[in-house]
Amino acid sequence: MTDRHLAIDLPSVDLIDAPAAVEPVDGESLAPAVTRAARILDVMAERPGEPVGPSELARRLGLPKSSIANICGALADAGLVRRIGTGFALGRRLAELGGAYLSTVDQVQEFYDASRQLPTGSEETVQFAVLDGLEVTYLARHDGRQPVRLTSGFGRRLPAFSTATGKAALASLDEAELRRRLAGLTTLLQPTRHAHRTVDELLVDLDEIRRRGYAIDDEETMEGVVCYGIMIPARQVGEGPCAASITLLKVRATAERVPALVEDLRWLAATLSDPLRRA
């Protein structure tokens, strides 16, 4: 099975050119233990599975070792974290809570339905994501029948400016909002050599996307993989714009196939936008 499937492992975090500061000190006024717990989970999420001990956590977070140990103990009791030997890693309860959250996003449920019935029946991998700042979070994925599979399902964060979903969502922002999010940013970290390197390049691309109606990620996230994305207005209250995308190997993305892919995307966008559609 696995030999028939090419597993594509997307590059990991830290793709955004962090503006220097390594987070010196900030909002630790209210319930600091909770804020610290969240930061502990963040560290564990960087390399899930790898257990981390109190000492390493204390070093990376700049916090007292015993405080970390206390918090980890509480997290373990709650199931949010599990003990591996003497260290800690993300726990199963997070999957339960994450699933509970996803069940509240109507568009995710509808996406699963819709992605199995694309009008052209193209059966490529299709994903659903939401924009958050300058990153996109993937909330759902439907694997096609192609012997190519993206590793890891939902929950992954990728930079918005190098993904089809991210660019499609960014292009839907108004000028002021876009400028606000890009403030202080000049150069962009490049996941691959095809990705935009400057904000100006990105802005030109966003203009094209607005004209064209959909976004293209031409090996910007990963060599050999292309992605077509379209914006989907968020229906949930506080959420940013969403997007759907179709992912396929570049060798399969011939010019004659693009119209069908775009048709699928347009249909997905229309379907997931319809406020009358309720599960």
Please give the sequence-ordered ranges of beta strands (E in DSSP) within 110-235, or none if there are none.
125-132, 135-142, 148-150, 157-159, 215-218, 225-232
Q: Does 25 bind DNA (CB under 7 A)?
A: no
* 260 counts as binding a copy of itself under rule CB under 8 A: no
Among 90, 182, 189, 203, binds a copy of itself (CB under 8 A): 90
Are 181 and 134 within 8 A, CB to CB?
A: yes
CB of 72 vs DNA, minimal distance in Å? 7
Binding partner selected for residue 56 from DNA, a copy of itself, none, CB under the kind-specific 5 to 8 Å limit = DNA
Say which amino acid occupies 206.
Answer: L
Contact with a copy of itself (CB under 8 A) among 6, 18, 78, 270: 78
What, of DNA, a copy of itself, none, does residue 53 touch, CB below 5 to 8 Å by kind?
A: DNA
Contact between 272 and a copy of itself by CB under 8 A: the answer reads no
**Bridge partners (DSSP) listed for residue 150:** 8
Site for a copy of itself in 111-150 (CB under 8 A): 112-114, 116-117, 130, 132, 137, 139, 143, 145, 149
Q: Kind of pairing, strands 135-142 and 157-159?
A: antiparallel
Task: Kindly indicate which of the ranges 2-10, 55-63, 179-187, 243-251 contains the residues binding a copy of itself, using the contact rule CB under 8 A.
Answer: 2-10
Residue type, 114: A
Read off φ and ψ for residue 214, nearest 5 degrees: -150, 165
Question: Cβ of residue 198: shortest distance to a copy of itself, in angstroms?
Answer: 28
Decide if residue 82 touches DNA (CB under 7 A). Answer: no
Q: Which does 97 bind (CB under 5 to 8 A by kind): a copy of itself, DNA, none?
A: a copy of itself
Rounded CA separation 225/222 (Å)? 6
Instruction: Work out whether 25 is an interface residue with a copy of itself (CB under 8 A).
Output: no
Alpha helices in 47-174 (DSSP H): 54-61, 65-78, 93-102, 106-115, 164-170
- Of 11, 32, 99, 259, the residue at the interface with DNA (CB under 7 A) is 32
Binder to a copy of itself among 61, 89, 182, 203 (CB under 8 A)? 89
Name the minimum Å distance from CB 216 to a copy of itself: 26
Closest distance of CB 187 from a copy of itself, Å: 26
Query: How far apart are CB 10 and a copy of itself at their closest, in Å?
Result: 11
Would you call 232 helix, strand, or coil by DSSP?
Answer: strand
3 binds, among a copy of itself, DNA, none (CB under 5 to 8 A by kind): none
In degrees to the nearest 10, what's the CA dihedral of 86, 92, 95, 96?
-140
Contact 149, 8 (CB under 8 A): yes
Distance (Å, whole) CA 255 – CA 93: 45
Task: Please report how many Cα atoms fall inside a 13 Å half-sphere around the Cα of residue 237, on the Cβ side.
Answer: 1
Question: Nearest approach, Cβ of 41 to DNA (angstroms)?
Answer: 16
- Are 57 and 68 a contacting pair, CB within 8 Å? yes
Amino acid at 158: L
- Interacting residue ranges for DNA, rule: CB under 7 A: 28-34, 53-56, 63-67, 69-71, 86-87
